[in-house]
Amino acid sequence: MDYIIVTHKTLIQKANDYAAYREATGYNVVVADVDMLYDQFSYGINKHPMGIRHFANYALGEFADTIHGLFLMGKGYRAGDSPYNYRFSTTYNTLTLVPSFGNPPSDIMFTAGLSDGTIMPAIPTGRLAARVSNDISIYLTKIQDFEYEQNQPYDPSDPLAKAWMKKVLHFAGGSTYSEAQYLLSFLDNYADTLMGPYFGADVTTFTKTSSAPIQQNTSDELKDLINNGVAILNFFGHGAGIGFDISIDNPADYSNYQRYPFLIANSCFAGDLYQPTVSSSEAFVLIENKGTIGYIGSITKSLAPSLNSYSSELVGRIARRNYNERIGYIIQQTIKTVQYTGMDNSLREVLLEMTLHGDPVLRLGGFPQPDFVILAGSIYFDPINVTNELDSFDVKVITSNIGMAVSDSVVLELSRTFPNQSTEIYQKYIPSPCFADTIVFTLPVEPLNGVGLNTFTATIDAFDAVSETVETNNISSATLFIISNDVNPVYPYEYAVIPDTFVTLVASTGYAMAAMGTYIFQIDTTDAFNSPFMQQSLPIVQTGGIVEWALPYSMLTLPDSTVYFWRVSSTATSNWRESSFQYITGKRGWGQAHFFQYKNDNFQYVSYNKPSRILEFINSIVSISVQTGYYPYIQWSEEWYKIDNILKGQWSCTNYNGDGMKFAVFDTLSIAPWMNADPDGDGYGPSYALNCRTYAYYDFDFFTNGEPWFTRMTDFIDSIPDGYYVLAFSHRNHNAENYPEALYQAFESIGSNLIRTVPNNMPYIIFGRKGQPMLADERVGANINSIISAQYPITTNWREGYMESTVVGPASEWGSLHWRVKSYEPGLWTDSVRLDVVGIKADGSADTVISDLPPVIDSLDILNLSSRIDASVYPYLKLHLRVSDDSLRTPAQLERWQVLYEPIPETAIDPVSYYTFYNDTVQEGETVRFAIATRNVGPVDFPDSLSVAYWLIDNDRNIHQLARKKLRLHPVGDVIVDSVAFSTQGYAGINSIWVEFNPVDTATGLYDQLEQYHFNNIAEIRFLVDKDRINPMLDVTFDGVHILDGDIVSANPNIEVLLKDENRYLMLDDTTAFRVYLQRPGATELERIYFNVGSTEQMHFYPASSTQNNTARIEYPASNLSDGKYMLMVQARDKTGNESGSIDYQINFEVINTPAITDVLNWPNPFSTQTHFVFTLTGSEVPDYFKIQIMTITGKVVREIDKSELGPIHIGRNITEYAWDGHDEYGDQLANGVYLYRVIVKLNGEQMDKIKTSAGQYFTKEFGKMMLIR
């Protein structure tokens, strides 16, 4: 047996249920009836704690080697000097189900000293102060739900679902400012410990802001934190009832089902379970489906230094030394560490009296491994608006860890995909985040390639250096639209072949919503724009979007097949953006028929010599450099190899604690490195080289710790063709002393002389050629901390190369292919020329669809291209021209290549045609309306209805999809205007709304329809939502009257609460805006009044129904209130959380059920023009007969005032609306002087009793006096 439950016979059935659950979780449980222990271990003396102690001692000798917990299930009371001493009081003796030990009581003392003679408990001990069996049922359900929630697997739909297990709340109390700061310093030290390895906590601290004995803390932040889940609540301050001197809220108000925290109460008396009233500890633990899962606090007065000594050690063990251990064991080890010979009584008392209320085998929650996460929205940019006028900007990446915090460092990799789909990689070696850190990358804007939509993808632990619980959540992406004041050519499409006689040049601004600007077009037959033919438009002044210039001449002005170069610029930047097209009668497609059109093509080992207008082979010197050492004596980022100073390989897939060799292989012509790819996704490249990247890269890592890695390394070297260059260098220990013979020979095949003698752990570099023995250059470090490097210049030897076109298309149908080449040397043909056609699918994957076309008549013009290439499969093409010349080393010269086809449409956002936006600054809750136009500027109709998508990125970088819809068909020249409207509730701060026409189809991952360009389909509009910060107004009445503090009210008052908000958009339509509390006579705590209890309505809610009067109302018909003094508290807030005041509305009132009335006074008295009547009524009903008779001193009645004249009367203090003006029954003015009056009041036909007050001295035989003076 390794787990003991001691309980009372009245609780034993539920204790057995608890034992069954613990059996299911892996414990061997024994349940002991405490009455039997008295008989067997304390000589039959009832309620003697030695029975439990002797039994525990017996268990230590007879049960398992380690007993994990002693769980005392049953309420106990004090012995010694106490009015509820269970030894002397029959009542409390009966109520004591499981006694404690000593006075003051200590559960620790049951086993203290049994193992080592100290006060450390030999068995970790906890108690459940169950008074009835249902208390055990409540706790069993809580522990089951709690441990179920703890053990839930990672949920990708809610990646932070388990982050609550790392949340900690600290509460610093204190009766003075200096004391509060003193206690706060303790909590700050605990926070430092908890935020480090292994707990990695996210700590939020609440402190007192006043010197009040108790400070209520009703912030929404606190409620949200607790209800969303917290692992630990740690309080340091003074105790107060079931709370503390800084409120952590009443547990009854929690809504934290399953996510129950553990509460550490560094306070006097907070943990006292041994008293008749419900202690703080019991209130938090023994509450159903909410509260805490455990509680530890002292049962007596304690000194702050002693509490700090205890809690400092306790927290250190929770956070690191005993991370994820059982809480009882952690407490046991805390006592063992903190105790010392000669310690003072204060510390001894804390060690013995800090009482665990909860299961001693409870674990507070922990994780077996780290779990790094980059969430959606965790990548953001500074500044928010990035333009091409900036040099650089910051990419900020929030890295999180929802698992165990560790001390290791990891690589954070940031990939940037430019609008042209090229990619750059950036890496940083960072300490692994304990909970969350923000890492900053400063990147250049790169105005040539960066303008438009950039995609940034961040990957934490990019080299898989740290084993994690989940490896699939380390990556996230975000987009940034870099705004440009430039303008880009759109139509005619780049390199287009067009048949249009009259042409309008069309461009789109880089930022569709650009402000007013001035634009200029130029057109010429040369890209220098300096020929006599060059023409320039007049300045075009307009806002962003589509910019156009209708050419002032027809295409028939110059000969057919003329190539035109055109460009456009904004005068604000003077950056010209160029394009070109060719006019051919009756033809459409793509073509490059002018040498200057080749300049943007891709050349490999062939150079584009523009001044001479020729293509040439390149011969150059390539520099390979390398550096390595033994990590950690070399920084991770300093272990690399480069080609022409461009980083090609860095660090190692064997990681910071692995040993290995890194290889790079280069061909003999281009010195291009071999690529390491992992097409199977199994983590291995060629010859089972490691592959730990999500992209293709240019080196090969192998472990060097033995087989099968030695064989794999041998096979890799053997696979390298003779003559290829090979670079290899060590990462940590190359282990060369232990290589097998085959591997030694493999190294010698690349020229090694030293491999058999290189000492282990010494940094090592080798550079050689396969098949050239004994010629390699080798470098060996002098010692383990040496950093070695080398540089190797190699001359290329080109006699072949290729030229690759820009992307052709997209096309709806391919037509024909035409190309022409000529020899560089007139009349002499020594060249080998072949043309390949590469088909590109919509997802970017490519296949060679036509290969090895020779420059002969049948292949120079392919007229039936559609029969060989299906445009629905391959909407894009590239032309790939391979040239070689072994004799003269001069490449063939391309004269032209053209692909004719049916083009596809092109829509562009066109704010000039139509654009409206509600306002750039709105009040939260307002509805924003946005409308914008798009125009088909292409040469053909869209084949299907155009789609549009809208989304919003809020101030916290969260993406909210607003709308996605199909519009209508979109023919050439057509303008579509579309709009969207949405509420700004919940979007306070800077937001951006995005619109995208022809968006990506979520089902296919491709654009809904093919289009020539997409940069001009997207627009972003930023706007500010002003957060509602104005407090709503709260008004409370009793029976329609505003009462004063302490007033008497009816025993059945109708309490009405009105809340009015100035915000006309966020309607008060939710009952959660209100909290109503009532403190009844004799009670010390407030009682929450809910709208409904079961099916019974307690309060009725009337929501606001008009934007012109945003007022909500509650009617609370309190009924049958007993006599006594009450306190009503009302809390209210608007939709954005603004409270109705910095101080809660509170008012005291009194209920007297006996119907009675005070003497009725007139006020003012004396009076000149009018006087009111003042009195107080008690009971629950107003009198049905009420008459005031006014008479002269002789007794003549001159005026009678009845109830109907007095106006509304209510229970409590009354000042009549009616005022007597000194006129008699007939309206005649009475003379100055003294008048008598009496009051007759009846309820249900009976004279009402009189309430005696000090005003009675002014009445004689029920008659009062008033004086009229004019």
Domain annotation covers residue 149 = no
Distances (CA, A) of 327 to 28, 60, 334, 720, 1004: 18, 20, 10, 59, 51
Kindly indicate the confidence band of residue 1084, based on its pLDDT and cuts at 50, 70 and 90: confident
Cβ-proximal residues to 597 (8 Å cutoff; 6+ apart), any chain: 495, 563, 580
Q: Give CA–CA dist 197/401, Å, rounded.
A: 11
Task: Give all strands of the β-sheet with 487-491 in edge-to-edge order.
Answer: 487-491, 504-509, 546-550
Task: Specify which of 463-467, 681-685, 1151-1155 reaches the highest per-range mean pLDDT.
Answer: 1151-1155
pLDDT tens digits, 927-945: 999 999 999 999 999 999 9
Task: Give the orientation angle of helix 12-24 with respect to helix 133-150, to 10 degrees.
Answer: 10
Q: Are 588 and 498 in contact (CB under 8 A)?
A: yes
Q: Are 1037 and 1017 in contact (CB under 8 A)?
A: no
More confident residue, 371 or 240: 371
Q: What is the pLDDT of residue 828?
A: 60
Are both 860 and 742 inside the same structural domain? Answer: no
The predicted model gives 1073-1086 an average pLDDT of 90
Look at phi and psi of residue 288 and say left if phi exceeds 0, alpha if psi is from -120 to 50, else beta.
beta
Q: Give CA–CA dist 350/309, Å, rounded.
A: 9
Q: What is the pLDDT of residue 797?
A: 65
Distances (CA, A) of 1101 to 72, 83, 1069, 1111, 1117: 47, 47, 9, 11, 12
Q: Are 1064 and 1111 in contact (CB under 8 A)?
A: no
Kindly indicate the confidence band of residue 328, based on its pLDDT and cuts at 50, 70 and 90: very high
Torsion of Cα atoms, 131 then 137 then 140 then 145, to 10° = -130
Torsion of Cα atoms, 50 then 56 then 61 then 62, to 10° = 120
Domain annotation covers residue 604 = no
Domain annotation covers residue 137 = no
Are both 911 and 896 inside the same structural domain? Answer: no
Are both 723 and 814 inside the same structural domain? Answer: no
Q: Give CA–CA dist 653/271, Å, rounded.
A: 53
The pair of three-digit structure tokens given for residue 1171, joined into one six-digit string: 């006087």
Are both 804 and 791 inside the same structural domain? Answer: no
Are both 687 and 750 inside the same structural domain? Answer: yes
Nearest by Cα to 976 from 984, 968, 966, 985: 968
Q: What is the CATH number of the domain that holds 462?
A: 2.60.40.2150
DSSP 175: S
Q: What is the pLDDT of residue 217?
A: 41
Q: Are 147 and 160 in contact (CB under 8 A)?
A: no
Domain annotation covers residue 602 = no
Quick check: 1020 pLDDT over 80? yes
Q: What is the pLDDT of residue 381?
A: 94
Torsion of Cα atoms, 1218 then 1223 then 1229 then 1235, to 10° = -110
**In the listed set 903, 927, 947, which residue is the last one of a domain according to the structure?**
903
The predicted model gives 360-387 an average pLDDT of 92
**In the listed set 1119, 1151, 1183, which residue is the last one of a domain according to the structure?**
1151
Quick check: 1002 pLDDT over 70? yes
Are both 641 and 788 inside the same structural domain? Answer: yes
Quick check: 449 pLDDT over 80? yes
Residue 339: CB atoms within 10 A of its CB come to: 16
**In the listed set 903, 927, 959, which residue is the last one of a domain according to the structure?**
903
Q: What is the CATH number of the domain that holds 516?
A: 2.60.40.10
The pair of three-digit structure tokens given for residue 1179, joined into one six-digit string: 């009971």
Q: What is the pLDDT of residue 215?
A: 42
Quick check: 211 pLDDT over 70? no
Residue 770, amino acid: K
Quick check: 1227 pLDDT over 50? yes
Quick check: 669 pLDDT over 80? no
Phi, psi for 37 (deg, rounded to 5): -65, -35
Quick check: 1004 pLDDT over 90? no
Domain annotation covers residue 665 = yes
Residues paired with 982 in a beta bridge: 928
Are both 178 and 198 inside the same structural domain? Answer: yes
Q: What is the pLDDT of residue 216?
A: 42
* 710 three-state secondary structure: helix
Are both 858 and 988 inside the same structural domain? Answer: no
Alpha-helix runs per DSSP H in 772-899? 857-860, 865-868
Q: What is the pLDDT of residue 61?
A: 92
Q: What is the pLDDT of residue 1038?
A: 94
Q: What is the pLDDT of residue 64?
A: 81
Quick check: 667 pLDDT over 50? yes
Residue 909: CB atoms within 10 A of its CB come to: 25
What share of residues in the chain are helix, strand, coil (percent, to 5)?
15, 40, 45
Q: Give CA–CA dist 760/888, Å, rounded.
A: 51
Q: What is the pLDDT of residue 207?
A: 87
Torsion of Cα atoms, 857 then 863 then 868 then 869, to 10° = 120
Are both 786 and 845 inside the same structural domain? Answer: no
Quick check: 218 pLDDT over 50? no
Alpha-helix runs per DSSP H in 1001-1160? none
Quick check: 917 pLDDT over 90? yes
pLDDT tens digits, 781-826: 999 999 999 999 987 767 778 899 999 999 999 999 999 999 877 7
pLDDT tens digits, 520-561: 999 999 999 999 999 999 999 999 999 999 999 999 999 999
Q: What is the CATH number of the domain that holds 1165?
A: 2.60.40.4070
Mean pLDDT of the chain: 92
H-helix or E-strand spanning residue 1078: strand 1074-1079
Number of domains present in the structure of the chain: 9
Domain annotation covers residue 598 = no
Domain annotation covers residue 1071 = yes
Are both 103 and 10 inside the same structural domain? Answer: yes
- Rg of the Cα trace of the chain? 43
pTM of the model: 0.73
| Cα distance from N-terminal residue to C-terminal residue, the chain | 99
Are both 39 and 182 inside the same structural domain? Answer: no
The predicted model gives 1074-1078 an average pLDDT of 93
Look at phi and psi of residue 529 and say left if phi exceeds 0, alpha if psi is from -120 to 50, else beta.
left
Q: Are 972 and 491 in contact (CB under 8 A)?
A: no
Q: What is the CATH number of the domain that holds 22?
A: 3.40.50.10390
Are both 253 and 320 inside the same structural domain? Answer: yes
Q: Are 172 and 49 in contact (CB under 8 A)?
A: no
Quick check: 606 pLDDT over 90? no
Q: Are 74 and 11 in contact (CB under 8 A)?
A: yes
The least confident of 232-246, 408-422, 1100-1114, 1195-1209 is: 232-246
Q: Give CA–CA dist 1181/1192, Å, rounded.
A: 32
pLDDT tens digits, 432-442: 999 999 999 99
Domain annotation covers residue 139 = no
Parent domain of 1211: 1156-1268
Q: What is the pLDDT of residue 889?
A: 73
Q: What is the pLDDT of residue 824?
A: 78
